[in-house]
Each structure stands twice: as structure tokens, then as C-alpha cells.
Chains A and B, each alone.
Chain A
Amino acid sequence: RKEVEQDPGPFNVPEGATVAFNCTYSNSASQSFFWYRQDCRKEPKLLMSVYSSGNEDGRFTAQLNRASQYISLLIRDSKLSDSATYLCVVNSGGGADGLTFGKGTHLIIQP
């Protein structure tokens, strides 16, 4: 079983729609959770951290379910510029240990 699993997509979504991605992680000791965004041939960039209580940043909402080891990302009112690969990322240790990445979910927003 992969450490972080994501549906690779692609998700083809019309502009203005709401889209949700999920991921699951296998290490129950995981402590920190993130969504990164990666554009084609670019480096990953932190989109948002994910907190147990859920958190929102503009059109983006992240949720964490520790019991089910499940993380979600919701994008409302999607824009063409949201087209990218969204990486679910987990930090399994405390401090500054390495990150464990999912393979990413490819999102295409269509005009």
C-alpha cells in the first residue's frame, strides 16, 4: 500500500464549478499535512497546511480526518488558473523530517 494515495485524475471541470480531491495516508503517526500545487515542469509550491479543525483560505478549504486517515481539498468557483497538479503531502515525524508525497491529482479547468 502506498504511503499517500491520491486519485491521479485528470479531473476535467468547467470554470466556476466546485471540485474536491481526496487522499489517504497509511502512517497513523503522521503529524503534519499539506496540499501543494505543482504546475507543469515547475517546482511544488505550498498551497495550504491542513489542520484537524479544518481550514479555509479564500476559495480553498482543507479537511483532515485523523480517524480515517483521510485529507480533502475543496476548490470553489474554480478558475482557469487553478489548472495544475495538486499534491497531498504528509510529514510523518515531528520537527523537520522529510515529506512524503502523493503522486498528485491532475486538475484541468475548462472554459
Chain B
Amino acid sequence: EAGVTQFPSHSVIEKGQTVTLRCDPISGHDNLYWYRRVMGKEIKFLLHFVKESKQDESGMPNNRFLAERTGGTYSTLKVQPAELEDSGVYFCASSPLGTYYGYTFGSGTRLTVV
């Protein structure tokens, strides 16, 4: 079974540019989550999709971040315009509907804004 796949694995962009991160969850997993780890801080929840609907986006830092999950399959997280403090590792995780354990994380996208 393929795991959670994230692309790209690394991205270096200049302040003010736009970056789009992609996450492909495990097939059949309706729950999809985005998390972020900023250097020196703990991993923080960003948002949660159930299929194509945003269940909880309370962790999104501001309106420069836009997440979508068209058709309830893969998800994208766009940062526009990027700021220096957006640097960090962005993790995606998925789980089957109805479970609240056993999240499977992707290997993350390391974003550096310079």
C-alpha cells in the first residue's frame, strides 16, 4: 500500500513568491490533515479535511494560506505571498473516516523562504 506522498520534498523560494505544496493521502482515507513544524517549535495543526470539505481550519495562520482538496483526493496548500516566518516543514497526514488514531504522516515538505 502506498503511503502518504508529499511533493516537493524541498522548496526554496524568495519572500513574496508563491509556493504550492501537494499531498496525496493513502487511497480511501477520507481524513486529510496539514501540520507544520517551524524550527524550534512543536508540530502544529493547520487544518483538517473530511473528503473535500474543510472540517477545521482553526490552525491556519493567516489568509496567505489556502488549502484545497478537490474531489476529496489529493490536497494542495498554497502560500501566497510567502514570508520568512513561513519557513518550516509542512506535514500531511491521512486516516480513514471514523478513526482518531493511526494517522499516517507523509515525509513532509521542507520550505525555506529567503
Contact = CB atoms under 8 A, between A and B. Distances in A.
A46 B102 CA distance: 7
Contact of A101 (B43, B50, B99, B102): B43
Interface residues of B, number: 27
B88 to A, nearest CB: 13
B35 to A, nearest CB: 8
Interface residues of A, number: 24
Contacts of B97: 96
A97 B59 CA distance: 12
B91 A44 contact: yes
Interface string B8-34: 000000000000000000000001010
Interface string A82-107: 00000100010011111111111000
Contacts of B50: 96
B12 to A, nearest CB: 16
A1 interface: no
A34 B95 CA distance: 15
Contact of B95 (A31, A96, A102): A96
Contact of A45 (B33, B42, B56, B105): B105
A46 to B, nearest CB: 6
A83 B40 CA distance: 19
Nearest to B44: A101
Interface of B: 31, 33, 35, 41-45, 47-48, 50, 55-56, 59, 91, 95, 97-103, 105-108
**Pairs of residues from A and B, 3 with the lowest C-beta to C-beta distance, nearest first:** A98-B45, A43-B105, A101-B43
12 contacts: A32-B100, A32-B101, A43-B105, A44-B43, A46-B103, A49-B101, A95-B98, A95-B100, A96-B31, A96-B98, A99-B45, A101-B35
